[in-house]
């Protein structure tokens, strides 16, 4: 079954919740806006499934890993997206390796984002993430289709 989530401003949070299956939180807003955090704490208390995002697109770099781990502990989301690095396979893999060493006892399930500039980098990053216990059944369908349909190495 496909589930739907969408980022939502506070003003229409309830409306978006009524049209989605789970909630999608941007971690950097927790520190900027206590009301935004409260919406997700309430959603968690009501049994809503939550994904916590590392805000890489909003900040142009992933949220600080230690602060992100703090918010994972506080919110206890069902899923959280491990800090990655846009189009940078090596940094993304390094971030995941460090995350797995430092934060292995966090609640929830981790999601690794595949990053790279070439097909081979993307495939290598995907293979690494799959081997360290990351989940892709909800997020990387496009990549899985790309892998299945491609016949070239780049």
Spatial strand order of the sheet with 50-53 comes to 23-26, 50-53, 79-81, 109-111
Under the banding of pLDDT at 50, 70 and 90, the label for residue 87 is confident
Residue 152 has pLDDT above 70, yes or no: no
Task: Count the Cβ atoms, other than its own, within 10 Å of residue 62.
Answer: 24
> What is the average pLDDT score of the chain?
86
Query: Given this model, what pLDDT does residue 94 score?
Result: 95
Domain boundaries, position 137: 10-149
**Residue 124 included in any domain:** yes
**Residue 86 included in any domain:** yes
Cβ 123 vs Cβ 147: under 8 Å = yes
Contact residues for 132 (Cβ-Cβ < 8 A; gap 6+): 96, 97, 100, 112
Cβ 31 vs Cβ 2: under 8 Å = no
Query: Given this model, what pLDDT does residue 130 score?
Result: 82
Under the banding of pLDDT at 50, 70 and 90, the label for residue 107 is very high
**Residue 59 included in any domain:** yes
Per-residue pLDDT reduced to its tens digit, 29-58: 999 999 999 999 999 999 999 999 999 989
What's the domain count of the chain?
A: 1
């Amino acid at each position: 079954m496909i589930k739907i989530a969408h980022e939502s401003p506070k003003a229409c949070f309830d409306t978006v919740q009524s049209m989605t299956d789970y909630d999608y939180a941007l971690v950097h807003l927790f520190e900027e806006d206590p009301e935004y955090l409260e919406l997700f704490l309430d959603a968690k208390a009501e049994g809503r499934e939550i994904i916590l995002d590392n805000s890489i697109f909003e900040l142009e770099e992933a949220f600080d890993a230690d602060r992100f781990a703090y918010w994972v502990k506080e919110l206890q989301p069902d899923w959280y997206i491990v800090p990655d690095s846009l189009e940078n396979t090596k940094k993304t893999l390094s971030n995941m390796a460090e995350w797995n060493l430092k934060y292995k006892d966090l609640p929830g399930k981790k999601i690794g984002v595949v990053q790279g500039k070439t097909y081979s980098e993307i495939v290598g990053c995907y293979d690494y993430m799959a081997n360290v216990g990351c989940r892709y059944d909800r997020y990387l369908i496009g990549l899985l289709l790309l892998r299945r349909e491609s016949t070239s190495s780049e």
